[in-house]
Amino acid sequence: MSVSTSSPFDQEEARIAPWLILLVIGTLLYRIGFVWAHDYSLFVDEAQYWLWSRAPAFGYYSKPPMVAWMVRISTALLGDGELGIKLPALLAYPLAALALYRLGTTVKNARVGLIAAALFLSMPGQALAGWVLSPDALLLVAWSWSLWLLWMARTQQQLKWWLGLGVVVGLGALSKYTMLAFVPLAAWVLWRGRAAVPVRGKGPWLALAIVLLLIAPNIVWNIQNHFETVRHTVDLTNADQAGLHPRHLLEFVGAQWGIFGMLAFPLLVMLMVCSRRDRSDITRFLAAFTIPYLLAIIALSLVTLANANWAVTVYAAGSVWLAIWLDGRRPAWAWSVILLNFVLQLGLLHYRDIGTRLGHPPSHSGRDLYARVLGWRELGRALQPITEAQGGLPILSSDRMLLAELDYYLQPRPYPVAALDVDGKINNQYEADTARRGLPQEALWVQFVGGQDGSHHGENDGDAPNPPALTRAYDVIEDLGVVRVQRMDAPPRSVQIVRVRRHVTTEPLP
C-alpha cells in the first residue's frame, strides 16, 4: 500500500488549483471574447504603439521600448489586427495575478493567494485597462513578479532569486520608468525588515547591476535623442500647473476608489491606517510597497494634476495585504468584496450593451467612456476613396489622435502621415519624426470639425479655420469637403480635408 508523502500545503494548492485556473483562464478568454464581440477601434496610444513596433528601437518619444517590442511579437503571431495589438494587455493582467497568487501562497497559504489573484483581476479599473494596451499592463506584470522574487530573495538568500529580481525589474523599467520606484522601496525593505539583508551581500548589488545593464541601451538612446522620453515623462507631472488643487485631490482619491473597488479600497485604507498595530514581517513588507507610494501620489495630486493610473502599482501588494485580512474573516467577506468588484467591472464593460437592450442607449453628450474607441475604422473607410483619388498623398495634421488612427486605419498600412507643429515645440512622436524628415511637398490636410469626439458639432457648423502654421507653409489647392461618420450611438465624428502644396520658395523645407 502506497503512502502519500505530500504536505498539507501541497494538498491545499492542489485543491485550489482548479479555481485558480478557472479564474485566470476564464478572465483571459472572457476579455478576448469581449474584444471579438465589440466593434471598438484601437485607442490612439495603441495605434501609436503599433507604428513603433514597425521600427524596433531602444526608445521612443513618450515611452520606453518594451510596449513596442511586445506588439512586434504579438502581431508576428496574430497579425496586425486589433486583437494582435491588444494581446500583450490581455495576457499581462492574468500573468500578474499568477504572481500575486504565488506571493500570497508563499507568505500565507493558497487560499490567500487565490483571494489576492481574484481581488486583482476583479478590480473595476480593469474594465478598460484589461483589454486596452498600455505600459501599465506590462508594468504590473513586472511589479507583481518582482514582489514575489524580492520576498524569496530576502528569505531564501539564494543567488538565483536575486538574478531573477534584477532581470524582472530591468524589463519592467523598459516598460515604464515607474518601475524604478521599486528599487528604493526594495532597499527600504531590505534595510528595515526583520529578515534584513546586509548591504555587503552580493545579491542586492548583483540585482542592481542587472537592472542598470538592461536599461543601459535606453539610457544611451535618450542621450542620443536629447532625453526625449525623460523630458516627456517630466512633462506629464504638469509642473507648469503646480499649486494647490484640493478638488483634484478629491477626484484622484475618488478615482482610486473606483479603480480598486467600492469595498476593497476603503478596506485597504483601513489596513494602512491600522498597520502600526501589526508588526509582522509580511505586513511590514506589503505596507512598504503600498503606503509610501500611495501617499506620495496623493500628495502629488494636490500640487499638480496627477493621473489616476499613477498609483496602480499600489494594488499589487494591496491585493495580497487585503487577501490576508479577508482570509481571517468569514468567507462571506471575501465573496462580497470580490463579487461586488466583478459586478462593477462587468457593468462598466457592458453598460452600452445593457442600455441598448433596454432601449436607453448612452447619451450623445460625447462623455461616453468608449467615445475615444468608436468610429476610427469607419473614418478610415470613409477617407479611403479620397486618399486613393488624390494619389495616396500623405496625411498632414496637427492632431496626434488623427495621425495615429489614420496611420493605422487607412490603406496601405501604415499610411504615410506628417505632423504640423503649430506651437513651436515637439509634443509627440509624429512631430519628432516630421522634424527629422521634413514636411511633405504636397499633402492632405485633415482636422476635426466639432471637436475630437464630435460633441461640439451643430447644424450650422462651417469649415474649421486653417491654423496660421498651415497658411505660412502651404497653399490651398482644393477643399475636399467635410467627411462625417456615425459612431454607433455616439456623436458623429467629422473631419475637414484640404489638399495643400508647399509655397514656391528657394528656402529649404523645415
Q: What is the tens place of the pLDDT at every residue in 91-148?
A: 999 999 999 999 999 999 999 999 999 999 999 999 989 999 999 999 999 999 999 9
Number of domains in the chain: 2
Residue 47 lies in a domain: yes
Quick one: cell of 398?
496637427
Last residue of a domain, one of 320, 351, 382: 351
Quick one: cell of 480?
475636399
Whole-prediction pTM: 0.91
Residue 490 lies in a domain: yes
Residue 407 lies in a domain: yes
Residue 73 lies in a domain: yes
Q: pLDDT grade, residue 460 (50/70/90)?
A: very low
Residue 296 sits in the same domain as residue 427:
no
Residue 197 sits in the same domain as residue 314:
yes
Which whole-number Å values give the CA distances from 27 to 81, 126, 127, 246, 487, in the listed order? 21, 11, 11, 37, 28
Mean per-residue pLDDT over the chain, rounded = 88
Q: What is the pLDDT of residue 488?
A: 62
DSSP code, position 419: E
Residue 341 sits in the same domain as residue 245:
yes
DSSP code, position 157: -
Angle between helices 314-327 and 110-121 (to 10 degrees): 130
Residue 362 lies in a domain: no
Last residue of a domain, one of 351, 385, 403: 351
Q: What is the pLDDT of residue 459?
A: 43
Residue 462 sits in the same domain as residue 375:
yes
**Digit-coded pLDDT (tens) for 3-21:** 344 455 578 888 999 999 9
Residue 320 sits in the same domain as residue 423:
no
Q: What is the pLDDT of residue 368?
A: 75
Residue 335 sits in the same domain as residue 391:
no
Residue 323 sits in the same domain as residue 425:
no
Residue 207 sits in the same domain as residue 140:
yes
Residue 1 lies in a domain: no
Residue 70 sits in the same domain as residue 190:
yes
Q: What is the pLDDT of residue 157?
A: 81
Domain that residue 129 falls in: 8-351
Residue 291 sits in the same domain as residue 425:
no
Residues 100 and 319: beta-carbon distance below 8 Å: yes
Residue 366 lies in a domain: no
Residue 424 lies in a domain: yes
Residue 145 sits in the same domain as residue 277:
yes
Residues of 28-48 as b/e, b for ≥16 C-beta within 10 angstroms?
A: beebbebbeebebbbbbbbbb
Last residue of a domain, one of 351, 380, 406: 351
Residue 331 sits in the same domain as residue 448:
no
